[in-house]
Each structure stands twice: as structure tokens, then as C-alpha cells.
Structure 1
């Protein structure tokens, strides 16, 4: 009997790192469900790309910062699982959705801080909690952090603090879910030229030159540098890697 393909759920999968992770997982023979906040057209375009690779894909709307919507999202997810895969479980959870904030500690507002907390910490914690009954045993979780938890760049304090919390949470998830054979790791990208943070790095040649000069491999990162690593962390070959922070920065600030 043919083995059922593995299935990944990727939050914030319509563009950037999430999009590339979805394609990388599809190239490795996995099916994907992605969530999107408002970019429905981009999400559906990605679904078609994945299907063109011979894999199944579905997009579902989700606001990761609105925990009250999570029960409704879970119901929609279960419906999608039944209709498309005739199952109630998925194998890999990629907590990727997020947004950036560039403001000094003195300038950061409480509202901005709360928005970051709701998406990057509270959202990751409680969405994972809601979905645990439907994450298959011997599966994997990949939480997306940032290189900014190791090195500092002025204006990233609040954002980096949230990701620091995610890295600690990763260890506790790994400890508590280990009895089910579920591995949990963090990937910490360096500076990546995507639309993240309104494409701040992508649009600034000055910033790109600065990052290039501070990176051992001599360039800024691209989404394609990260998606394959996320996919790899889900694969059996990485089965003994657990509770780790994997930095993917090309060697920034060594």
C-alpha cells in the first residue's frame, strides 16, 4: 500500500520565508496547508504552484494575533483535512507568521508592543496548544525566530525580545512533546531581503551594503536560503536534532 504523504501546516505562507518553505516541502514530496492574513491572491497563487509540482495544497485565512479565532480556524482546518486528505492529523507545524517593528525602546508604543506579543508569542503559544491534538505523533514543529536574539541592531529591541521568548518556548515544547516523539526546533534567520517589515532591507542599498560587509558569505540572505532549512528540519534525516536554535545567517557579525 502506498504510504500517505506527510502534511505541513505553515502560518504566514503566502509570501517570503513561509512561501519558500512551502515550495521546499513540496519539492521533497510533502503536501501543504498555508495560512494567510490578507494576501489571498498571493496565497492562492502559491497553492497553484504547489499543485503544479504534483502535491496537494490548500490556503486558509488566519489572523495569528487574534486568539479568539483559533477555535474557528481549527474547525476549518479539520474540514479541510477531511475533504482533501481524509484524515484528522497533520505532521509538521511551521510557526512562521509575523511582522517586524523598527523603533527604539524610547519610541516603541505599548500598542506596538502588544501587537508584537499577540502575534509572535501569544499566537505561537496558543495556536500550537489548540492544534496539538491534531499534530501527529513523531511529527515536528519549527518555530521561526531571528538572528537578532544573538546580535543587536538598534531599533529591534521589542521584536527581538518576542523572538527570545519563542526560543525559550521551543525548549519547553520539545521537553513536553518528546513523549509523543515530536521534535521542536527554532530557525533563526539573519537579514533576509524579502517583503518582511515593508521590504525595508530589500529597498535599501545602504542597508544591503552594511549587511554584506558584516556577513562571512558576503551577501544578504534571500528567502531561498531559509525555506530549504525549514523543510530539512522536518525530514527523518534530522530526526535526532531537537530543542535546537539553528541560525541561518550566512555568518553575520562573527
Structure 2
């Protein structure tokens, strides 16, 4: 059955979308008709971003031919503004959907944490999404959608994830604050999704110690002892982007098969 083209005419930015959840989200939004901007941070990931565009073309979404890839490193001070400026230049339109997905996970016990690790994760996971959202505001359409990618780690502690989990708690705090700030001015909903362990390059390279410690929790997951697929997270993100989801804001939606139940 063909996907309903419910996002025709919408422009969407998906940060950090050359791989994993971000790439799957680009494909899902495009399949619903959105004009999607695929974001990659460095020239070395350009081929991955181009592969996402090819996957989008297969969906035959209404705006598939107009989707573009934009290089912008969101961990830098000027990267977020560059991504927005290029989006506006390429589309000539307002921005209807922002998916704050870009992030990095570095798993180390506290005794091994240094300031470089702190800066790397904070600059991308928290500061990058804050600056990107701020840059989008002058171009934000009415009745728009912002979805932030958090993690079950925002609610649950794991060995070696002090900084990563802390940044995801910031993501959820941003979500609630922005839902209050943007609701009436922009008619913009702001929500977050909380993926559990997901079959991405980043998760699969978290280190053997982390993966070993997480396995018992996977085995106890109600819906099955497995990782989520990126497409499953992307579907939840797209749900929050729909016009009919306009009465949901400030929410943090778990997408984890019951991996963590607070």
C-alpha cells in the first residue's frame, strides 16, 4: 500500500542524517511528500548523504527530486546557521519541520572522562541543536513541527554514559521549554522521541563493555530481545510531524519496545 502523501509542500531539515536514524527519517518524511534536506558534517560523509538521496528517490515522494544534501558541521559555531541559510537558498521557502537528530555517543566510565570528551558531546548534542533551532526561528512556518531525538538514557542511568545521558536530559528540557515558547507564536509543536538501543553504526561501536552490560536489558525487553531498526524510530518521528498530531506538544515519546518503563 502506498504511503499517504500527507506532508506535500512541507520543507524539512533533518540534522545528522547521512546515516542511522537521521537517514531513515529523511526517507520516511520524503515518502510522505516532504522536501527534505539531508545534512552531513564533513566531506567524507558526502557519499553517505548521496546514498540517502538515492533511497529517497526510490520512495517517489512528491518532492523527491527536489531533496538536497547540505554539508554543515553542527558541532561548530557557524555550522547550524550555514545549514539553515543553505536550506532557504535551495528551497526559497519557509521551514515547516525541523528534526534535531545530530548527536554523538562516547561511552567511558567517569574516571576516564576528560574535557575533550565533554566538549565533543556537549557541542554537538546540546549546543548544536540549540543554535540550529535558534537559526530556524526566523524562517519557521506557522503550524510547524520540531522533533528532538533524545534517548532512554535521559531517564535511565548506564555505566559509562554520564555525559551522553546528561546531554539527552538537556534535549528533553529544551523540548519542554520550547513547547511553551513556540506554541502560540508559531503554532509550532515541539516534541521528543526516546529511542532505546537501535541498530546504528554509533550504537554498534559503543564498545564491548557497554554492549555486554546492556544485553540483559535487551533480553528483558517485552517486544523482543533485539535492537530497534532506524525505520521504526523514523516512523514515530514522522507521526509527530503530521498535521493531525497538532495537539501533542512537550511530549517525550519512548520508542523502545518497552526496554525502559519509568
What TM-score, normalized by structure 1, do the two folds share? 0.90
Question: CA 1:30 to 1:4, structure 2 compared with 1: closer, same or farther past 3 Å?
Answer: closer
For each residue in 1:5-49, what CA deviation from the matched residue of structure 2 results, as whole angstroms up to 9, or x when unmatched? 212110011110001111111222222111001311010111122
Question: Do residues 5 (structure 1) and 9 (structure 2) align?
Answer: yes
**After superposition, where does 1:66-215 map in structure 2 within 5 Å?**
66-82=76-92, 87=93, 89-179=94-184, 180-197=186-203, 199-200=205-206, 206=212, 209-215=215-221
Task: Name the residue aligned to 1:252.
Answer: 259
CA contact 2:107–2:207 (8 Å) conserved in 1: no
Match in the other structure for 2:69: 59
Structure 2: gaps spanning 5 or more residues: 1-6
| CA deviation profile, 1:67-104 (whole Å, cap 9, x unmatched) | 2333333332222113xxxx2x1210000011111011
Alpha-carbon contact 1:101-1:197 (below 8 Å) kept: no
Alpha-carbon distance between aligned partners in 2 of 1:162 and 1:34, rounded to the nearest angstrom: 23
Query: How far is 1:201 from its partner?
Result: 7.6
Deviations 1:140-189 (A, max 9, x none): 00001100111221011110001101101111111110111000001110
Residues 241 and 126 of structure 1: CA distance in aligned 2, closer, same or farther (over 3 Å): same
CA distance in 1, matches of 2:180, 2:248: 13
Q: Which runs of no fewer than 5 residues in structure 1 stay unpaired?
A: none
Report the CA distance shift for 1:7/1:75 in structure 2 as closer, same or farther (over 3 A).
closer
Q: 1:149 to 1:201 in 2, by over 3 A?
A: same
Distance in 2 separating the partners of 1:230 and 1:198: 22
Q: Give the 3 Å change call, closer, same or farther, for CA 237–114 of structure 1 in structure 2.
A: same
RMSD: 2.1
Aligned counterpart in structure 2 of residue 49 of structure 1, from 28, 36, 55: 55
TM-score by length of structure 2 reads 0.87
- Count of residue pairs the alignment pairs up: 247
Asked if the contact 1:192/1:221 (under 8 Å) is kept, the reply is: yes
- What's the secondary structure of 1:67's corresponding residue? coil
